[in-house]
Chain A
Amino acid sequence: AQTVTQSQPEMSVQEAETVTLSCTYDTSENNYYLFWYKQPPSRQMILVIRQEAYKQQNATENRFSVNFQKAAKSFSLKISDSQLGDTAMYFCAFKRGNTGKLIFGQGTTLQVKP
């Protein structure tokens, strides 16, 4: 069975600084996808970034980028130029290639301080 582990329950960063959130996963699959979701206090889950396992190039979306290390089964999220609106809970998620369901980590609560 696949598992996703986020080892940092809480993190904080000063506004405009850079922060990295960690995620590791365990799978024997070769075809899969990885995601980072953001859940602000409003409870609305929002997709931040996604990565296909077969792509070696790390995904980037504006201030958000990932460091995907397939051999190490690591998928960290880097947030550059942190903004107050980035304050939220962040979830790493795994999806096997032939199924729709997402398997989530326990989440990391990120607070951006002014």
Chain B
Amino acid sequence: GAGVSQSPSNKVTEKGKDVELRCDPISGHTALYWYRQRLGQGLEFLIYFQGNSAPDKSGLPSDRFSAERTGESVSTLTIQRTQQEDSAVYLCASSLSGGASYNEQFFGPGTRLTVL
């Protein structure tokens, strides 16, 4: 079946502009995650959605970052007033459920964001 998809695959923007990154999880997966990966680095957790529960936003680096999820489907990560330090690959993942299980997180191919 289809895996996690993300769009766009690459985004180049100017400093100060807003950007929206989209994630389509695997159908039936109730949990959705966003991570950021700076060049040559590990992944940093940003935000986690689980069903209808309040999202875990503990990883968002500033109030310029926000994310929404429509039901158990598409999620959008928005970065306002982008800065050069926001340049990174943004990865989305989904799993059957989160929380106490160790269900595998399936990752999308990521969106490479470049802020000029």
Contacts and interface: CB of A to CB of B under 8 A. Distances in A.
Interface residues on A, range: 20 to 34
A52 B44 CA distance: 22
B26 to A, nearest CB: 14
Contacts, number: 62
Nearest to A9: B40
B48 to A, nearest CB: 5
Contact of B107 (A4, A44, A103): A44
Contacts of B99: 98-100
A42 B91 CA distance: 13
A11 interface: no
Interface of B: 31, 33, 35, 40-45, 48, 50, 56, 58-59, 89, 91, 93, 95, 98-100, 102, 104-105, 107, 109-110
